[in-house]
Amino acid sequence: MRQTRYQSIAEDLRRSLAAGHPPGGLLPSESELSASHGASRVTVRRALELLRSEGLVDSRQGFGWFARTDPVRQSLGRLGTIEAQLADQGRRPERKVLDHRVVRTPPEVASILDSERVLRTRRLNLADGQPFALVTVWCPEALADGLTREAVEQSSFYDLLPLDVAGATQTIAAGLATDDEAKVLGVPAGSPVLRCERVTRAASDEAVLLSHHVFPAHLTEFVVDLPHVAPSMAPTGLRLVE
């Protein structure tokens, strides 16, 4: 997709922010940005709104736009991928494939992925050699062409799929490690774990991946940012099951 005017202005501003240009300080006014970028004020605003949605800047009417330094937002938008977090801590990420084969689609997977046969990969994620996640991924056979055992050990599924992934829905629950899970994760059997089920969609909204993730509770937590919240007796996103 061709870059639009407001996207390239947003990129310019992102770079200038990353360079620490106004460290927690004011940005040029919309009129000035409009003049300096040779774009209308509306287009400049659109770029700024984009950066606001990314948590990079914020504004106050009658005052101006300023760079965000708020640690609260920092944790989520800036949280980034696990790889980025590990890199920040100087730790080494590693993937170990435990199983990798095409199988007939099990019924519980068939309700989500539209394919008779699926590639099923079981993989262990480690940080400095310590396992922190046991992952099972199901992928429709039609999309599994480049997904060799070596490829999925090196790269993420998202990078290997022959299409762009758009969004995902993940369910987060608590449970106890099974004997099998405990063994590969190196924790006592019956330890508490976080369980995540994720459905990944393509731009067409079709489900292209299903994955299950098991995390030792003492090593992991999820962080969710909610730009808007509604009055309720329980946190946003909670669902009662059964």
Partner DNA sequence: CAGTGGTCTAGACCACTGG
Residue 207, contacted partner among DNA, a copy of itself, none, CB below 5-8 A by kind: a copy of itself
6 binds DNA (CB under 7 A): yes
Of the candidates 153, 19, 25, 169, the one whose C-alpha atom is nearest the C-alpha of residue 93 is 153
181 binds DNA (CB under 7 A): no
207 binds a copy of itself (CB under 8 A): yes
d(CA 91, CA 83): 9
227 binds DNA (CB under 7 A): no
- What angle do helix axes 5-18 and 30-37 make, rounded to 10 degrees? 110
Binds a copy of itself (CB under 8 A): choice among 56, 67, 127, 134: 127
Residue 179, contacted partner among DNA, a copy of itself, none, CB below 5-8 A by kind: none
| Least separation in angstroms between CB 150 and a copy of itself | 15
Question: Which region among 3-11, 13-21, 170-178, 207-215 touches DNA (by CB under 7 A)?
Answer: 3-11
CA angle 147, 136, 184 (to 5 degrees): 115
Cα Rg, the chain, nearest whole Å: 22
d(CA 133, CA 46): 39
> Which residue, 13 or 194, is less far from DNA as judged by CB?
13
Quote the tokens at residue 36.
């300096």
d(CA 89, CA 129): 14
> Which residue, 36 or 209, is less far from a copy of itself as judged by CB?
209
Residue 149, contacted partner among a copy of itself, DNA, none, CB below 5-8 A by kind: none
> Which residue, 65 or 215, is less far from a copy of itself as judged by CB?
215
Q: Are 215 and 194 in contact (CB under 8 A)?
A: yes
103 binds a copy of itself (CB under 8 A): no
* 8-state DSSP, 218: T
Q: What's the sign of the alpha-carbon dihedral 238, 239, 240, 242? A: negative
Q: Are 55 and 49 in contact (CB under 8 A)?
A: no
Residue 43, contacted partner among a copy of itself, DNA, none, CB below 5-8 A by kind: DNA
| Least separation in angstroms between CB 88 and DNA | 31
> Which residue, 96 or 104, is less far from a copy of itself as judged by CB?
96
Question: Tokens 């095409």 identify what position?
Answer: 102
Q: Are 216 and 193 in contact (CB under 8 A)?
A: yes
Site residues for DNA, 14-73, by CB under 7 A, read: 27, 29-32, 38-43, 45-46, 59-65
Q: Which residues bind DNA (CB under 7 A)?
A: 4-7, 27, 29-32, 38-43, 45-46, 59-65
